[in-house]
Structure 1
Amino acid sequence: MVSQKEIRASNALINDATAPRVAVFVGGTSGIGQLTIKALVATGASARIYLVGRKSPEERTLAFIQELQSINPKAEIIWTEGEVALLAETRRVCGIIKSKESRVDLLFLTTGYAPFGERRETAEGVEIAQSLEYYTRILFILHLLPLLNQAEAPRIVSVLGGGLERATIKLDDLDLKKPGNFSGMNAQVQYLTMTTPTLEKLANDNPHVTFVHSWPGWVSTGNVRRGIDTNSLWGWFVWLILDPLIQLVAISDEDSGQRHLFQCTSAAFGGRGVPWQGKPGINSLEKQANGLFLVNYKCDCTPNTKAMPLLREKALAKIWDHTQEILRPYL
């Protein structure tokens, strides 16, 4: 476990030389994305931050940007609106960033929510939570990898469920369209398990880029309530029991933001970034080198040796082929 004291000591070393100069936060208007942006801005370092999010009340977005700039006038916040549950919108947003930048140092991905309601699809025929938690994120990575490879110490952090992968998922129905296959827990496990082999492949193909698949633990972001019928039995359960329980055991907003900033910047992961004298993180292939790091809410790494060897052998090729099929029209 990396203590909060160690994390804050590391983050205190972030300055103009070690901060990501160009950062893209997808899903940064709420939850962990918002908390991590605030932690980064509060370091006082110069940074240009693309804040990507869906349309929300203009006053709230402007107030957040003004808050960030009052905290750190050296931070340049570029609001980039996009309904990124749609893959065509994701491609458009990436086009905007690519037209303005020659490099990206950090890509931070947090879109999604616990899919405990009924199965709902986007206009493109993709289940909404799966689009946000998997397809959108992989599409952002594929579009921005050329810019990330131009940075000195590029990093991609995807916040979902690194280390929680299961050895068996529904390979014959990756999108959970068959009757009876979709449920909240099945979907969440399916999506996070699809993510890790794909990120590992991309990490192996791009050894200059550090990849982190983060499991944030319990953080009270309100996502557990999204997408459910508040008048349903499950909606009442979430409101009366689950949400109060999460708030009771949740990591504080401040600590969560600091922990994810540490994951974005520390040389503990891949050896590049803010200097780190502690134990180095071990990537998913159990090498103390760059690659994919499965990082939990304690900032510990796991290779998940129970699931990952089987996923590499039996699932990766099918997941990757299917992913390419879905994303090809948007590349």
Structure 2
Amino acid sequence: MPSLATIKAEISKLPDGPPLVAALPGATTGIGSYIATVLATTYAKHGSKLRVYIVGRNAVRAESVIAGCQRLSPGSEWRFVSATDLALISEVDRCCDEIIKQETEAPFHGGPVRLDLLYMTYCYPILKERHTTPEGLDSFLSTVYYSRIRFIMNLLPLLTASPKPGHVISVYTGSFQDEVEPGKLPIGLPPDSEYGVAGVRKYTAFMKTFLFEELAEKYAGRLSLTHIYPGLVDGPGFLSDDMPTWFRITWRILKPILRHIYMTSPEDCGAVMVYLATPHFPAKGQDVPEGVKTATSSQDQLGGGAYSVGQRADSPNKVAYSNVRQEDTVKLVWDHTMKTLEDIEKANAAKAG
């Protein structure tokens, strides 16, 4: 587990590389906004070497985040992409189209048309009443899995066009590995008997682990993918109106205690997240600078390209789901995910036509 001093020292080296383009779906609040702030701080004295797309629903909050980041890093460029509901695949498609359009029309520093970092932090409120989107997906599972995979797939041409390997970071269930029985693989929507925070976590972590491994293999040398458990991080989401009253009351009571014994500060959380974009998390087969200690992948390979890490970017150092891994496990997850997204795309096209 790297120390915070090491993490901050490593991210301070990012501006030594080429100009950076980042997209942050969910960064109008919470962890996404902390990532934006750390990026701004890191590039504060490096002119116009940073362009960031803030993707989210709340334009007022986005303006506040962008204004704060511009004060920290006046030379950096910040853009807002409005999104109504990122549980909808159609809305993800629209946001991706807008990012691609803007990058194509005005490549950062003259090109190539690219995206270096994709951080996904948005999530349906975990204690809110269960909801199914008009496209037929569970809103909770969509925001932590299906719509995030859609972001990746849509933006792959830009992520793999970067001079250096693109980095994808999904914030939610990294390093979690719930028990899975052979023959009962958690693929798709959890049954009603399992549905809830734990059930969605179990299914998301399993599917994302294998799908990330497949993408790391397909785009070896060009794409690094990490999912991370952020820990308990202070933020406005705990007091959101989407949370039950009992939870908000309980949180107000417990927060002063948790802050001192377990909670991660916004600054430290943002630093850990940006650390995932350093050469310590390389694409599979990527050459790394001498002396750089690379992370261990979910297949227990140094620098394997697909990583599942804890709140301090710590790797479990073991093969994930070793008891149920079979030759066809990746294919089962991949085929299910792609078919789900393709079916929704076809249905949306039929409605539009």
| Same fold flag (TM > 0.5) | yes
Letter in 1 for 2:81: T
Deviations 1:139-178 (A, max 9, x none): 00001111111112211111112221234176477213x4
Residue 49 in structure 1 maps to residue 43 in structure 2: no
Residue 97 in structure 1 maps to residue 110 in structure 2: no
Residue 184 in structure 1 maps to residue 197 in structure 2: yes
2:351 alignment counterpart: none
Cα deviation for residue 298 of structure 1 reads 2.1
Of residues 165, 170, 179 in structure 2, which corresponds to 1:158? Answer: 170
Where 2:296 maps in the other structure, the secondary structure is coil
Q: 1:10 to 1:235 in 2, by over 3 A?
A: closer
Q: 1:181 to 1:284 in 2, by over 3 A?
A: closer
Where 1:294 maps in the other structure, the secondary structure is strand
1:10 alignment counterpart: 10
Contact 2:216 2:225 (8 Å CA) reproduced: yes
Letter in 2 for 1:63: S
1:87 alignment counterpart: 89
Q: How many Å separate the matches in 1 of 2:22 and 2:197?
A: 32
Residue 326 in structure 1 maps to residue 337 in structure 2: no
Contact 2:212 2:225 (8 Å CA) reproduced: yes
Q: Where in structure 1 are there 5+ consecutive unaligned residues?
A: none
Deviations 1:268-301 (A, max 9, x none): 1117799674532122222223411222222222
What is the aligned length? Answer: 324
1:193 alignment counterpart: 206
Cα deviation for residue 215 of structure 1 reads 1.7
Where 2:162 maps in the other structure, the secondary structure is coil
Q: How many Å separate the matches in 1 of 2:340 and 2:95?
A: 18
Give me the TM-score of the superposition, normalised by structure 2.
0.82
Of residues 159, 181, 197 in structure 2, which corresponds to 1:148? Answer: 159
Contact 2:300 2:318 (8 Å CA) reproduced: no
Cα deviation for residue 246 of structure 1 reads 4.7
Q: 1:25 to 1:67 in 2, by over 3 A?
A: same
Residue 122 in structure 1 maps to residue 115 in structure 2: no
Cα deviation for residue 64 of structure 1 reads 2.0
Contact 2:22 2:53 (8 Å CA) reproduced: yes
> Percent identity over the alignment?
27
Letter in 2 for 1:164: F
Give me the TM-score of the superposition, normalised by structure 1.
0.87
Q: How many Å separate the matches in 2 of 1:222 and 1:311?
A: 39
Letter in 1 for 2:11: N
Cα deviation for residue 257 of structure 1 reads 0.9
1:21 alignment counterpart: 20
The CA RMSD measured in Å over matched residues stands at 2.7
Q: 1:175 to 1:193 in 2, by over 3 A?
A: same
The 10-residue stretch of structure 1 (197-206 or 133-142) with the greater mean CA deviation from structure 2: 197-206
1:110 alignment counterpart: 121
